[in-house]
């Protein structure tokens, strides 16, 4: 009988302590949680459906250790009411005695200084019904890295099943400036706009000279490469870089030596031969179509265009290059407009060396960070020093820059918003060095295993009975 009473007493004592601990744990946890202002990490577990988007009862399956005090709605409605599938044992009585209309009663447990306003997670739909908690680096406000204790609801699934498409995001750069090896297509178009100045005849233009007095003067003429035409009785007369009226007046005056009233008329038959020659040079209608010319920015920063020669392009935007080309063409020919279009960017390369599985050169097809580069290289090797990764960079004037970063916390899942997860630039070199213990191991391997023992091999055995032999 005495033994049974002792066992019964011990059992009741253990149960009481268990009940007390079960009721005290959530209170202590809640006090620490609201006092520190840090959101504890919680598993997303709010169950929501499309019909529960507004005034609906939401069931939260949060573990008891992560429960927060929930204040009932003041108007007694069901909006904002949250029930739980795992209530603390010591708080069931307090929760059952509270009334829906009492704004001072808690749904789980009563801690007056912990009451807060609860906002329900609005589900997007059946494809993304859960409220996701995480850490937003924008909340750091320059105060250092944030830890997992700063978790809060964030818009993680804004596009639900369309997350693979994602948002449009901000542009990679405010403006793109051309660089060496960029490929550009220059598209030529006839403006067919009226010129603001009279047309001047050019070499290769065709004209017809006629006289009402003597029809023997009538003949079609082509302006020669020296800019002249040959006429009866007059011989060679300069015609290039003259307007039609200027040439007619000159011929009229010259023929007055032979005729009292020459009555000369000059009729242009074929003009704009420079423009036609340029069109023939860039004509691609028999191939890929249109009138254009492809060019690549050369190492000296220029592009070659017909009729213009070398045009500076390095560091220009496409709009700036268009204005430069149009102004240069306007000095030699009228009626043409050129539009440059970027066909292909110069290749961007990234170098990853050191303690990675696949060191080498990798193409940068988009924005790339340090962890992305390590992932492209197949991940890091055991023994790689992730706390002291070196990044070498060449500046605009080719001077060498270097920085040391620490991404171990991020790669081990300890830091949600690592400050050292920096963006990389073209030709950056990422070096993952060895840890000191790995360096020491390599030293021993090189000096002893391959060095001394390789030259003078020592063999022996140990007899634990008390003798050793070599």
SS3 letters for 85-149? CCCCHHHHHHHHHCCCCCCCCECCCCCHHHCCCCCCCCCCECCECCCCEECCHHHHCCCCCCCHH
pLDDT at 118 over 70: no
What is the phi/psi pair of residue 354, to 5°?
100, -145
Residues 285 and 233 in one domain: no
In order of 18, 33, 68, 115, 231, the CA distances from 21 in angstroms are 5, 18, 17, 22, 119
Residues 248 and 333 in one domain: no
**Quick one: pLDDT band at residue 7, thresholds 50, 70, 90?**
low
pLDDT tens digits, 439-449 = 898 888 888 77
Residues 6 and 134 in one domain: yes
Residues 248 and 388 in one domain: no
Residues 164 and 21 in one domain: yes
Domain end: 255, 271, 287, which one? 271
What pLDDT, on the 0 to 100 scale, is given for residue 308? 93
Residue 58: inside a domain, yes or no? yes
What pLDDT, on the 0 to 100 scale, is given for residue 193? 83
Residue 443: inside a domain, yes or no? no
- Sheet with 292-296, side-by-side order of all strands: 292-296, 183-190, 336-344
Residues 222 and 340 in one domain: no
Residue 333's domain comprises: 183-194+275-344
What pLDDT, on the 0 to 100 scale, is given for residue 144? 76
pLDDT at 178 over 90: yes
Residues 303 and 329 in one domain: yes
Instruction: Give the tokens for residue 15.
Output: 């149960």
What pLDDT, on the 0 to 100 scale, is given for residue 43? 39
CATH number of the structural domain spanning residue 244: 3.30.1950.10
pLDDT at 153 over 70: yes
Q: Are 189 and 301 in contact (CB under 8 A)?
A: no
- Which residue would you say has higher pLDDT here, 98 or 377? 377
DSSP 246: H
- Residue range 250-267: mean pLDDT, rounded: 93
User: Percent of the chain having pLDDT more than 70?
Assistant: 68
Question: Quick one: which H or E segment has residue 82?
Answer: strand 82-84
Most confident of the following: 101-110, 273-282, 460-469: 273-282
pLDDT at 319 over 80: yes
Domain end: 344, 366, 394, which one? 344
Residues 84 and 149 in one domain: yes
Q: What is the DSSP string of 350-401?
A: EEEEESBSS-EEEE--S--BHHHHHHHTT-BPTTB-TTSEEEEEE-TT--EE
Residues 231 and 337 in one domain: no
Residue 177: inside a domain, yes or no? no
Residue 263: inside a domain, yes or no? yes
What pLDDT, on the 0 to 100 scale, is given for residue 443? 85
pLDDT tens digits, 72-83 = 333 444 443 433
Domain end: 315, 344, 373, which one? 344
Residue 461: inside a domain, yes or no? no
CATH number of the structural domain spanning residue 374: 3.10.560.10
**Quick one: pLDDT band at residue 314, thresholds 50, 70, 90?**
very high
- Which residue would you say has higher pLDDT here, 135 or 76? 135
In 3-state terms, what secondary structure has residue 238?
Answer: strand
Residues 244 and 105 in one domain: no
d(CA 393, CA 391): 7
Residue 364: inside a domain, yes or no? yes
pLDDT at 325 over 50: yes
**Quick one: pLDDT band at residue 461, thresholds 50, 70, 90?**
low
Residues 234 and 285 in one domain: no
d(CA 423, CA 241): 58
pLDDT tens digits, 203-242 = 999 999 999 999 999 999 999 999 999 999 999 999 999 9
Residues 188 and 280 in one domain: yes
Our CA angle for 155, 159, 162, nearest 5°, is 145
Domain count, the chain: 4
Instruction: Give the tokens for residue 470.
Output: 């070599």
What pLDDT, on the 0 to 100 scale, is given for residue 138? 85
The mean pLDDT of the chain is 77
Residue 174: inside a domain, yes or no? no
Q: Name which of 173-182, 187-196, 297-306, 370-379 the model is least confident about.
A: 187-196
- Which residue would you say has higher pLDDT here, 157 or 29? 157
d(CA 306, CA 468): 89
**Quick one: pLDDT band at residue 38, thresholds 50, 70, 90?**
very low
Q: Name which of 100-104, 429-433, 452-456 the model is least confident about.
A: 100-104
Residue 468: inside a domain, yes or no? no
């Amino acid at each position: 009988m005495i033994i049974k009473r002792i066992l019964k007493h011990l059992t009741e004592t253990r149960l009481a302590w268990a009940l007390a601990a079960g009721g005290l744990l959530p209170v202590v946890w809640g006090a620490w949680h609201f006092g520190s202002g840090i959101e504890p990490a919680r598993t997303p577990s709010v169950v929501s459906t499309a019909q529960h988007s507004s005034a609906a009862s939401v069931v939260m399956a949060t573990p008891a250790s992560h429960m927060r005090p929930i204040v009932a709605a003041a108007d007694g409605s069901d909006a904002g009411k949250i029930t739980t599938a795992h209530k603390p044992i010591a708080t069931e009585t307090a929760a059952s005695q509270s009334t829906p209309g009492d704004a001072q009663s808690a749904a789980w447990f009563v801690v007056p200084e912990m009451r807060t306003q609860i906002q329900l997670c609005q589900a997007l739909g059946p494809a993304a019904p859960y409220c996701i908690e995480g850490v937003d680096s924008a909340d750091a406000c320059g105060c250092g890295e944030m830890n997992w204790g700063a978790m809060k609801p964030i818009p993680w699934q804004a596009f639900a099943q369309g997350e693979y498409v994602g948002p449009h995001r901000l542009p990679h750069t405010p403006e793109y400036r051309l660089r060496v090896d960029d490929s550009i297509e220059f598209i030529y178009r006839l403006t067919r706009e009226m010129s603001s100045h009279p047309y001047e005849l050019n070499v290769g233009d065709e004209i017809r000279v006629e006289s009402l007095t003597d029809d023997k003067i009538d003949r079609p003429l082509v302006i020669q490469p020296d800019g002249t035409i040959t006429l009866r009785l007059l011989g060679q007369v300069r015609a290039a870089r003259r307007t039609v009226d200027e040439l007619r007046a000159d011929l009229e005056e010259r023929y007055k030596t032979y005729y009292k009233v020459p009555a000369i008329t000059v009729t242009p038959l074929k003009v704009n031969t420079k423009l036609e020659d340029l069109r023939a040079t860039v004509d691609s209608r028999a191939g890929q179509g249109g009138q254009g010319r492809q060019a690549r920015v050369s190492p000296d920063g220029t592009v070659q265009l017909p009729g213009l020669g070398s045009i500076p392009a390095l560091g220009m935007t496409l709009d700036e290059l268009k204005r430069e080309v149009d102004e240069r063409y306007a000095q030699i020919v009228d009626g043409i407009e050129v539009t440059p279009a970027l066909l292909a960017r110069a290749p961007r390369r990234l170098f990853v060396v050191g303690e990675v599985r696949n060191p080498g050169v990798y193409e940068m097809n988009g924005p790339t960070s340090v962890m992305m580069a390590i992932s492209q290289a197949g991940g890091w090797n055991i023994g790689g020093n992730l706390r002291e990764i070196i990044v070498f960079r060449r500046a605009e004037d080719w001077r060498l820059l270097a920085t040391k970063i620490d991404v171990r916390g991020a790669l081990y899942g300890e830091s949600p918003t690592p400050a050292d997860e920096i963006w990389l630039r073209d030709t950056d070199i990422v070096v993952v060095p060895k840890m000191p213990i790995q360096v020491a191991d390599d030293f021993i391997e090189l000096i002893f295993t391959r060095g001394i023992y390789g030259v003078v091999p020592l063999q022996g055995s140990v007899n634990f009975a008390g003798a050793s032999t070599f």
